[in-house]
Amino acid sequence: MERLKAVIVKEFIHIRRDPRSLVIIFALPLVMIFIFGHVLSFDLKKIETLIIDLDRSPLSRDLITRFAAAPLYKIYSLENQGHAEKRAAAAQDYLQSAERWLRQGKIKQYLIIPRDFSRRLAANFPSPVAVVIDGADANVATRLYQYNERIFKSFFFPTKSIEMPFEVKIKMFFNPEIASTPFIIPGLVAALMLMISALLTSLSLAREKETGSIELLFISPLRSPDIILGKTIPYLLVALIVGLVIFLFSHFFFGLQVHGSPLVLFLTAVIYILTGLSLGILISTVAPTQKVAMLVALLGTILPSIFLSGFIFPLESLSPALRAFSYLVPATYFLRILRSLTLKGASLRHFLFEASVLLAISLFLLALAIRKFSTLRRASA
């Protein structure tokens, strides 16, 4: 215990001697939360849509109004005017420009209402409407397609002799305004906290390897667990304070609320941070240089925490193999805890499982780091 304390005190002195790094460690995550909280959103709004109306009838204008009323679209409409021959030539022009704008990305989709649209509908005869969507962003295109269909259906049912027989009522639980911020902010906090804690410890031993001071540690009377834990624990405090600041910041700027018990949040956060630190210290023990440690730490935390944790891509949609992989990503568990706590107000028993898995992962990583360190030590002796 005495030895462990000595290592911890020494590490704290190191941290205190480098105030510039400390400022960077605190400031950068805050800047990120501030920017990303404002910028990241899945909502689609004002999608540039061109409607080429060759019919120019009250019915076709009614359809355009329905599109214009939805906040999803920003409507530009082209109407045909003038004599019949001129109109045919202009229609050709419109099509060519529409194609060009779609290719340039100036519009995301265009609709063509054919010339005999209202005449056919009035005669109870089916009429097509052409829709051309830019599929380059598959997600946006899918959602546009779905939304278009809904508008078309709202248009055709009331004009038919049959009334829409029922209304599908939608009720959204926990997040009635359907905002994506309450969903994104917890994900952001979870991803950032893991990255920060892993980055904090990932260089410590690798640095000592580069400067050669690791030899001093090897021949010291300190036991390997003392060294590994002593190099980890001080950063638990640093990362916790960073986490707390991030949390308060998200609370005041983005309305992040804790509905469950704050104590539960604190306990799970400590475990989660420990997981990140353990991952970092393991990387640091294995990597021969700081450069390698950094590459592993960045590639190993940024991409899994963003892509495989459920932060952006829902886990249900992953293939079974990747799903299994996502269970190895610590952010997956804390994300679930944090989202439950902030949106649903669940209590500890709901995620006892997640907390224990995180604890198990940390202990496993720490044990691995200690073992690896002992091996290195024996090899150098």
Partner 1 sequence: MLFIAPVIQTIILGYVVRTDITNIPIGIINLSSSLESHRLLNRLASSALFKIKLVSSSPVNAEEIFRRGKCKALIIFRDKFQSPPEGNNFFAGWPEIQVLLDGTDANSAMIAAGYFYGLLGHYLETKIRHSGQEILLQPKTIIRFNPSLRSIHTMGPAIVALLLTIITLLLTGIGLVREKEQQTLDTLLVSKLTPLEIFLGKTLPMATIALIEMTLGIIVVRLVFGVRPRGNLAFLYLAAVVFLFSLLSIGFLISLLSQTQQQALFFCWFTMLLFLMLSGLLTPLENIPAAFRWLTAINPLRYLIAIIREIFLKGNNLAYFYQDILIMAGLGFVAFLFSLSVFRRSVIK
Give the residue, chosen from 103, 324, 378, 380, that forms a contact with partner 1 under the rule CB under 8 A: 103
31, containing H or E segment: helix 19-39
User: Using the rule CB under 8 A, which residue among 4, 40, 258, 367 binds partner 1?
Assistant: 40
Q: State the Cα–Cα distance between residues 345 and 6, nearest whole angstrom.
A: 41
Strand order in the sheet with 47-53: 73-79, 47-53, 109-113
Q: How many residues of this chain interact with partner 1, rule: CB under 8 A?
A: 112
| Binding flags for partner 1, 270-299, as an x/- string (CB under 8 A) | --------------------xxx-xx-xxx
Measured from the CB atom, the residue of 224 and 305 that comes closer to partner 1 is 305
CB atoms inside a 10 Å sphere around CB 365 = 21
- For residues 112 to 131, the per-residue mask of contacts with partner 1, x marking binding by CB under 8 A and - elsewhere, is --------xx--xxxxxxxx
Stretch of residues binding partner 1 (CB under 8 A), selected from 223-231, 245-253, 269-277, 319-327: 319-327
Tell me if 10 contacts partner 1 by CB under 8 A.
Answer: no
**Which is nearer to partner 1, 4 or 286 (by Cβ)?**
286
CB 92 within 8 A of CB 66: no
For 180-213, give the secondary structure using H, E and C: CHHHHHHHHHHHHHHHHHHHHHHCHHHHHHHHCC
Rg (CA), the chain: 29
Specify whether the CB–CB gap between 183 and 339 falls below 8 A. yes
Residues in Cβ contact with 81 at an 8 Å cutoff, skipping those fewer than 6 apart: 56, 87, 90
Integer Cα distance of 188 and 343 in angstroms:
15
Q: How far apart are CA 265 and CA 270, in angstroms?
A: 9
Q: Which of 17, 81, 139, 263 binds partner 1 (CB under 8 A)?
A: 139
Q: Which two tokens stand for residue 316?
A: 């249900």
Report the site for partner 1 in 233-262 (rule: CB under 8 A).
none
Question: 272: closest CA among 296, 305, 316, 250?
Answer: 305
Binds partner 1 by CB under 8 A, chosen from 55, 94, 182, 185 = 182
265 belongs to the binding site for partner 1 (CB under 8 A): no
Q: Which CB atom, from 266 or from 313, has the smaller least distance to partner 1? A: 313
Q: What is the nearest approach in angstroms of partner 1 to the Cβ of residue 73?
A: 11
Chosen residue from 152, 249, 253, 266 binding partner 1 by CB under 8 A: 152
Which region among 146-154, 218-226, 263-271, 356-364 touches partner 1 (by CB under 8 A)?
Answer: 146-154
C-beta closer to partner 1: residue 227 or 335: 335
- Sign of the alpha-carbon dihedral angle for 35, 204, 365, 274: negative
> Among the candidate windows 82-90, 239-247, 300-308, 373-381, which touches partner 1 by CB under 8 A?
300-308
Checking phi first, is residue 131 left (phi over 0); if not, alpha (psi -120 to 50) or beta? beta
Pick from 47, 271, 277, 361: which binds partner 1 (CB under 8 A)? 47
Nearer Cβ to partner 1, position 153 or 378? 153
